[in-house]
Amino acid sequence: MVPGTGAWGLLLLTVAAALMLPTRPPGSQRAQIIGGQEVLPLSRPYMASVSFEGQHHCGGFLFRAHWVVSAAHCFRNRDPRTGLVVLGAHSLHTSEPTRQVFSIAAVVKHPEYQPTTHANDICLLRLNGSAVLGPAVGLLQLPGRGAQPPAAGTLCHVAGWGSISDFEDPPPGLMEAKVRVLDLDVCNSSWQGQLSPAMLCTHSGDRWRRGFCSADSGGPLVCGSRAHGLVSFSGLWCGDPKTPDVYTQVSAFVAWIWKVVRGSPPSRTAGLLVWAT
């Protein structure tokens, strides 16, 4: 499936893919979890939907009652004051009594985030209130301090609300795909050596296309019971083994995450790229 619609869009994307890393963040377009299936409603209570103007834009996950992790590229050219974070959802197009909706009090992007290379593609969202935890809304654990990324071949899961066709048909609910961790050196050879050590890759592990695509950006790659990856970017054809899916490696940013969460309130003088109310 191609992450974009229309002949002109396909032509431009094809040229860009042939020349360089994707320069347009995946969260700015729409596509699907590839080769996945719908999960049981509310079986992934940590999942968050980040929306603008009533439309799902990116994913994320709740790791503290008023903190969500997402991808920094989701907020390029976006005013966080117009965004909402939806928790406790399964289908984004029906009314659900389990939903909790918050505005965004602050966005803390990693200070070394590089839009052109996607390096350090991670941000923290401070909600304007505290989520009420329960069966429908829960927390996902971060890797422990000093944890290593999962070994190549490890079976993991990636989930999201991306559209299920090039015509932007909405999914019936939260979708998820099983993928396997790919050795970073092998992955880097497919990306012409442009990946950083703080990235993580996955592939289907077989002949089928499976993985994430654009509107799944910011969602977690769950290995075991912890978030080891954060959806960052993929190739022109989602799930294509020639351009494996690339994630931000969460374990490389655990110390930074806790420094932000446990530190003083975000400000523009703290050396961080921040917007706050």
Catalytically annotated residues: 73, 121, 217
User: Do 34 and 1 touch, CB atoms closer than 8 A?
Assistant: yes
Query: Which of the 8 DSSP states describes residue 170?
Result: P
Instruction: Give, in degrees to the nearest 5, the angle at Cα 63 between 55 and 29.
Output: 25
Measured in Å, how far apart are the chain's first and last C-alpha atoms? 39
SS3 string of 190-245?
A: HCCCCCCCCEEEEECCCCCCCECCHHHCCCEEEECCEEEEEEEECCCCCCCCCCCE
Instruction: Give, in degrees to the nearest 5, the angle at Cα 193 between 208 and 57.
Output: 60
> What's the chain's Rg over C-alpha atoms?
17
User: Do 125 and 70 touch, CB atoms closer than 8 A?
Assistant: yes
User: Do 227 and 63 touch, CB atoms closer than 8 A?
Assistant: yes
Q: What is the Cβ-side half-sphere exposure of residue 118, based on CA atoms within 13 angstroms?
A: 30
